[in-house]
Structure 1
Amino acid sequence: MSLSPIGAFARAHDPDRFLCALFAPAERREAIFALIALNHELARAREAATNPMAALIRLQWWRDAVEEARDGRPARHHEVAGPLHEAVTAGALDPDALIKLMDAREVETEEGGFATEQDFVTWLRGTAGGWSAVAGRALGADAQAAELLRALGAAYGLAGVLRSVPAHAAQGRCLLPLDRLAEAGLLAEHVIADPQSVALAPMLRTMAREGLEALASARRDVPAGVIAAALPAVLARRDLRRLARGRPTALRGVGDRLAVSWAGLRHAV
C-alpha cells in the first residue's frame, strides 16, 4: 500500500489509530491521517516542553494554524500543519472541533495532576474521546453517533493511561486521579517513584474493570461509514481485560491487529 507523507507519519507515531483509519472510506482517509498526526502533536506538547508555559505556546501554535486554515491564509511549513490545512480548507475537518481538542489538552500543562476522578474523566472525554468524536464527524456521523464515539474513545484513553503508568513515571508525571490514589493511600509522588508498587496494582485493576463496564454500556451499533472512529474501542477492550487481570503489556501483538481488522470488516465493535 502506497502511503502519503501524512499517512506515513500517522503510521509511525500512532500505529493503533492508523490501523483503524484504514477502514475509513478512501476519500476520507487523508483527513483522518491528518487528525491522527495532529493528535500526536497535541499529546506531546507537554512531554516535549521544558515547562508548562512552553507547552501552552505549543498548543497556541496549533490553534493559530487551524485559524489560519479557517481564514484561508497560507499553510504553515510543517509536515503536519500542511495536510491539516488542506483538510480544514476542504471542509473535511471542523476547525471549531479541532480547537476543542487543543483546549482539552491545556489541563495537562497544570501542575498537580487531576484532583478528582471527574476531572480525569472530563479530560479523557475531551482528548481521546474528542479525537473519536471529531473523526466520526469527519466520516459523516451525526451528533448522537459522535457522542457515542466520544464514550468509546474515552475508554481507549483510559486504557492508554493505565498501560502507560511506568512510562509517565519515567517522565516525572502521574495522570491518575489524586482522589483515587488517596483512597489507596498513595500520592502521585509515590507512583512516580515506584510505578510497579504493590499498593498501586489493585487500584489499576479496579479502574480497568470499571472501564470495561463503561465500555460495555457505551457499545451500540455504529454506522458502517464511521467504523474507523469506533475501532480504537476494540483495542481498549483487549487492553482493559489484560489490565483487569493484572497482565499489562506495552506491546501490540498479532491478536490485537487481527481483532481490529475483524471488527472493521464486520462493521461492529
Structure 2
Amino acid sequence: MNDAIAALVRRHDPDRFLTALFAPPARRDALLILYAFNHELARAREVVSEPPLALIRLQWWREVVEGTPRRHEVAAPLSEAIAAGQLDPALLLPVIEARESEAYGDFQTVKEWRTWLLAGAGGLAVAAARALDAPAPAVLQPFGAAYGVAGLLRASSVLTARQRCLLPRDVLERHGLTPEAFMQDPVSAPARAVSQAVAEEGEAFLAEARAVPLPRAAIAAALPALLARRDLARWPKIAWPRQFGDRLAVTAAGLTGRLSL
C-alpha cells in the first residue's frame, strides 16, 4: 500500500478509506489513488475565492489525466495507475467535468442537479468499480450518487459557513427560498423542508441502486452507499464522527459481500 496516499485518504475521506480496505489487496492502491484524486478535485474550489480560479486548478488535473506528467504527491501515482491500466482516464474526465459544474454550483433544476451527482459522485463509483475490474461498472452510478446526496447533507453546515449552496433552485423556490436565504437561515422551517426534499432524492438514488444486480467484485466501490442509507435513515440527525455501528455495518457487508440497502 502507498502509505502517503493511504494517509491522505484516511485523513480527508475516512468513509471511502474504510470501504477501500475491503478491496482485494492487488486493487487497493488504485482505489486509494482514485479517492486521493477526488479529494484534490474537491479542494480545487475549497482553497480559492472565485470559481474561475477553481477551473484553472481543475484544468491542471485534466491535463494530468490526459497524460501530462506532473511532480505531485497525488498526480505522480495517478499517472502511474493510468499508465498501468488500473484507472481509466475516460471515466475520470466526467468526474472533473462534474467538479467544474460544482465550482459555480448554479443548478437550476432537480434534473440538472441529479445529472451532476450521477456524473460526479456516481462517476467516481463507476471509476472505482472499473479499478476493481468489476463487470458492468456503470451500474454503480446510483450507488455513488446516493452517497453524494448524503455527503451534501452531512456537509451542509460547512458549505453554509463558506457561503456555498449546492441545491437546485427549483426546490428552493418551491419553498419560497433563494440560495442566499437558505444560507442565511439553514435551520428555518422552509430550509428544513428543502433539506428533506434533498434527502428524498437520495432515497430515490438508493431505490435505483436496489434495482440493479451488484457484481461481487464491485462491493468495495458500492459500500459508501451503505453509509448513505444509514445517514439518510437518521436525517436530520447526523452522526459525527462516524459511530461504531456505521463501521460495523460496512465491515459486515465488506466481509460477506452482501450489501443491504
Above 0.5 in TM-score? Answer: yes
Partner SS for 1:114? coil
- Looking at structure 2, the residues matched to 11 and 132 of structure 1 have their Cα atoms a distance apart, in angstroms, of 18
Give the aligned partner of residue 197 of structure 1: 188
Structure 2 residue runs of 5 or longer lacking an equivalent are none
Q: Is the deviation greater in 88-97 or in 203-212?
A: 203-212
Is the counterpart of residue 128 in structure 1 residue 121 in structure 2?
Answer: yes
- Looking at structure 1, the residues matched to 170 and 151 of structure 2 have their Cα atoms a distance apart, in angstroms, of 19
Pairwise CA distance, 1:107: 0.8
Identical residues among aligned pairs (%): 51
Given that 2:142 and 2:208 are in contact with CA atoms closer than 8 Å, whether structure 1 keeps it comes out as no
Equivalent positions of 1:162-181 (< 5 A) are 162-181=153-172
**2:97 maps to which of 96, 103, 114:** 103
Give the aligned partner of residue 135 of structure 2: 142
Deviations 1:196-234 (A, max 9, x none): 222211232233234224313422442222110000010
For the structure 1 residues 237 and 52, does the alpha-carbon distance in structure 2 shift closer, same or farther, using more than 3 Å as the test? same
Equivalent positions of 1:1-269 (< 5 A) are 4-68=3-67, 75-110=69-104, 113-143=106-136, 146-219=137-210, 220-243=212-235, 246-269=236-259
- Looking at structure 1, the residues matched to 205 and 27 of structure 2 have their Cα atoms a distance apart, in angstroms, of 29
Pairwise CA distance, 1:159: 0.7
- Looking at structure 2, the residues matched to 166 and 208 of structure 1 have their Cα atoms a distance apart, in angstroms, of 15
For the structure 1 residues 209 and 103, does the alpha-carbon distance in structure 2 shift closer, same or farther, using more than 3 Å as the test? closer
Q: Is the deviation greater in 124-133 or in 206-215?
A: 206-215
Pairwise CA distance, 1:3: 5.7
Partner SS for 1:115? coil
For the structure 1 residues 3 and 38, does the alpha-carbon distance in structure 2 shift closer, same or farther, using more than 3 Å as the test? closer
TM-score by length of 1: 0.91
Deviations 1:96-146 (A, max 9, x none): 211221111111222x62111111101100111110000001111233xx2
Deviations 1:173-215 (A, max 9, x none): 0011110011111110011111222221123223323422431
Partner SS for 1:268? coil
Deviations 1:36-93 (A, max 9, x none): 0000011121111221111011001001112226xxxxx4211111111111111100
- Looking at structure 1, the residues matched to 71 and 188 of structure 2 have their Cα atoms a distance apart, in angstroms, of 45
Partner SS for 1:200? helix
Given that 2:185 and 2:191 are in contact with CA atoms closer than 8 Å, whether structure 1 keeps it comes out as no
Pairwise CA distance, 1:249: 3.7
RMSD: 1.6
Aligned length: 258
For the structure 1 residues 113 and 46, does the alpha-carbon distance in structure 2 shift closer, same or farther, using more than 3 Å as the test? same
- Looking at structure 2, the residues matched to 9 and 164 of structure 1 have their Cα atoms a distance apart, in angstroms, of 19
Given that 1:221 and 1:268 are in contact with CA atoms closer than 8 Å, whether structure 2 keeps it comes out as no
Give the aligned partner of residue 72 of structure 1: none
For the structure 1 residues 187 and 160, does the alpha-carbon distance in structure 2 shift closer, same or farther, using more than 3 Å as the test? same
- Letter of the 1:63 partner, please give it: R
Partner SS for 1:68? coil
Given that 2:55 and 2:100 are in contact with CA atoms closer than 8 Å, whether structure 1 keeps it comes out as yes
- Looking at structure 2, the residues matched to 252 and 40 of structure 1 have their Cα atoms a distance apart, in angstroms, of 19
Divergent runs of 4+, >6 A: none
Structure 1 residue runs of 5 or longer lacking an equivalent are 70-74
